[in-house]
């Protein structure tokens, strides 16, 4: 097939812009050939179950799915009955970026809380966690947090534990949207279990696409006692792959030889490099709205300047009214990419 794109073109809009890691493509090719039992009875999915139990504990169960929205819908539907509600941040992907899929597919209510940094706390959850037994109000039965958050910030294991303890004490389950869970693990420098199963998370949407995979994510059940019917829900929400071996092979590739942590760690390092280089320049009209803790830089600048910079390097507005933009790095962002972007910003703002 004729290549239709320029493989040297780079943007800072999303880590979804990046291609597939070459080692992942190799893993898919190695899983090819011959026959394997379909719908998850293959050897690669069997091995994925083993690896996930090594990472999250002997109780863990894994269900590969096609995408992050699907993972979130399947996970939350397995936690919450039709009369239930989920407490999340106002910036949560399930609220602001999934086209209403959780409400439309799950038939559930989202109670959203404004936060300055994309993170929930027990006190913030309490503003919506009330009304149990009131037939006029959807029942708050789950909390959903995102790691890393939509604003690029991190929950520490202690912060996750505090939320889990509050949720469980009030009869709620805890879901984690881990679309960038690899970036979180790389930034925190701790095992996955430290901020998930060991910290009280009940179910995890385990990301892979943003870290070099092709349409491969997973729902990881960490406390089976809190989950019901997930094996059926994955099918009814159209997230069951017939040739699952190729999804499982991709997820396995991230665990082989530390590939996933290295890829995410590199993306984080490139965001740190971008932020540090711009800080050194102290450019007029440039400030920041969030800490840079993983692979995202949230900056504030004049809209007209942002538009001119975007003509040369693509990125997204986050809040046009305040001039907030988001600059994302990926597993394949190079130091040269960052330095070239810094020069474009410097030339415009200085």
7 part of a folded domain: no
* Closest-CA residue to 94 (of 114, 73, 108): 73
Of 231, 257, 283, the residue that ends a domain is 257
**Is 27 found in the same domain as 161?**
yes
**Is 301 found in the same domain as 282?**
yes
**Is the predicted pLDDT of residue 79 greater than 90, yes or no?**
yes
**Is the predicted pLDDT of residue 90 greater than 90, yes or no?**
yes
The full 3-state SS of 83-134, as one line of letters, equals CEEEEEECCCHHHHCCCCHHHHHHCCEEEEECCCCCCCCHHHHHCCCCCCCC
**Is 273 found in the same domain as 250?**
no
User: Which domain CATH number covers 273?
Assistant: 3.90.1150.10
Of 257, 273, 305, the residue that ends a domain is 257
Residue 162 CB partners (closer than 8 Å, separation 6+): 121, 122
CB-CB neighbours of 105 under 10 Å: 20
211 part of a folded domain: yes
1 part of a folded domain: no
**Is 264 found in the same domain as 253?**
no
Residue 227's pLDDT is what?
Answer: 95
The average pLDDT across 159-166 equals 98
* Closest-CA residue to 154 (of 122, 131, 188, 205): 188
Q: What is the pLDDT of residues 134-162, one digit of tens each?
A: 999 999 999 999 999 999 999 999 999 99
Of 257, 292, 324, the residue that ends a domain is 257
**Is 231 found in the same domain as 298?**
no
Tally of domains within the chain: 2
Residue 69's pLDDT is what?
Answer: 97
The average pLDDT across 314-325 equals 97
**Is 298 found in the same domain as 246?**
no
**Is 265 found in the same domain as 253?**
no
**Is 340 found in the same domain as 212?**
no
Residue 132's pLDDT is what?
Answer: 97
Q: What is the pLDDT of residues 174-212, one digit of tens each?
A: 999 999 999 999 999 999 999 999 999 999 999 999 999
**Is the predicted pLDDT of residue 50 greater than 90, yes or no?**
yes
231 part of a folded domain: yes
Angle (CA) 189-190-192 rounded to 5° is 125
**Is the predicted pLDDT of residue 18 greater than 90, yes or no?**
yes
Q: What is the pLDDT of residues 239-260, one digit of tens each?
A: 999 999 999 999 999 999 999 9
**Is 148 found in the same domain as 55?**
yes
Cα(330)–Cα(307) distance, integer angstroms: 22
Q: What is the pLDDT of residues 267-276, one digit of tens each?
A: 999 999 999 9
Quote the percentage of the chain above a pLDDT of 90: 97
The average pLDDT across 224-250 equals 96
The range of the structural domain enclosing residue 296 comes to 259-349
Asked if residue 99 lies in contact with residue 70, where contact means CB atoms within 8 angstroms, the answer is no
Cα(133)–Cα(146) distance, integer angstroms: 28
Which pairing describes strands 287-288 and 296-300: parallel, antiparallel, or unpaired? antiparallel
5 part of a folded domain: no
Six-digit token pair at 36?
């394997």
3 part of a folded domain: no
Residue 77's pLDDT is what?
Answer: 96
16 part of a folded domain: no
User: Which domain CATH number covers 72?
Assistant: 3.40.640.10
**Is the predicted pLDDT of residue 96 greater than 90, yes or no?**
yes
Asked if residue 197 lies in contact with residue 167, where contact means CB atoms within 8 angstroms, the answer is no
> Taking the mean position of all CA atoms in its chain, how far away is CA 279?
27
The average pLDDT across 25-53 equals 98
CA torsion through residues 81, 87, 88, 90, sign: positive
| Ramachandran area for residue 2 (φ above 0: left; ψ -120 to 50: alpha; else beta) | beta
4 part of a folded domain: no
Residue 1's pLDDT is what?
Answer: 86
Six-digit token pair at 254?
């991230």
**Is 325 found in the same domain as 252?**
no
Six-digit token pair at 106?
């799950």
Could you check whether the bond before residue 148 is cis, i.e. omega within 30 degrees of 0? yes
Q: Give the chain's mean pLDDT.
A: 97
**Is 193 found in the same domain as 248?**
yes
**Is 180 found in the same domain as 288?**
no
Residue 339's pLDDT is what?
Answer: 98
Residue 106's pLDDT is what?
Answer: 83
């Amino acid at each position: 097939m004729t290549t239709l794109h320029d493989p040297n073109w780079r943007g800072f809009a999303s880590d979804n812009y990046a291609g597939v890691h070459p080692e992942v493509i190799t893993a898919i090719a190695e899983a090819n050939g011959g026959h394997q039992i379909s719908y998850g009875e293959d050897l690669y999915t069997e091995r994925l179950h083993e690896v996930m139990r090594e990472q999250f504990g002997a109780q863990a169960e894994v269900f590969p799915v096609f995408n992050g929205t699907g993972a979130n819908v399947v996970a939350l539907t397995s936690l919450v009955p039709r009369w239930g509600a989920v407490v999340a941040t106002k910036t949560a992907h399930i609220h602001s970026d999934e086209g209403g899929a959780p409400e439309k597919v799950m038939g559930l209510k989202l109670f959203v809380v404004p936060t300055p940094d994309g993170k929930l706390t027990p006190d913030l959850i309490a503003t919506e966690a009330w009304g149990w037994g009131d037939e006029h109000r959807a029942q708050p039965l789950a909390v959903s947090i995102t790691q890393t958050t939509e604003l690029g910030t991190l929950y520490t294991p202690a912060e996750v534990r505090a939320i889990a303890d509050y949720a469980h004490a009030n009869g709620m389950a805890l879901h984690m949207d881990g679309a960038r869970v690899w970036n979180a693990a790389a930034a925190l420098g701790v095992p996955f279990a430290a901020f998930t199963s060991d910290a009280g998370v009940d179910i995890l949407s385990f990301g892979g696409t943003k870290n070099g995979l092709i349409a491969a994510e997973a729902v990881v059940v960490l406390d089976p006692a809190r989950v019901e019917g997930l094996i059926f829900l994955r099918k009814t929400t159209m997230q069951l792959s017939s040739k699952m071996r190729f999804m499982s092979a991709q997820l396995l590739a991230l665990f082989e030889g530390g590939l996933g942590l290295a890829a995410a760690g590199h993306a984080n390092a490139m965001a740190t490099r971008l932020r540090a280089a711009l800080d050194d320049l102290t450019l007029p009209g440039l400030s920041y709205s969030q800490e840079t803790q993983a692979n995202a830089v949230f900056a504030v600048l004049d809209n007209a300047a942002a538009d001119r910079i975007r003509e040369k390097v693509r990125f997204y507005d986050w809040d046009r009214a305040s001039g907030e933009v988001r600059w994302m790095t990926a597993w394949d962002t190079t130091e040269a990419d960052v330095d070239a972007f810094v020069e474009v910003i410097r030339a415009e703002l200085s």
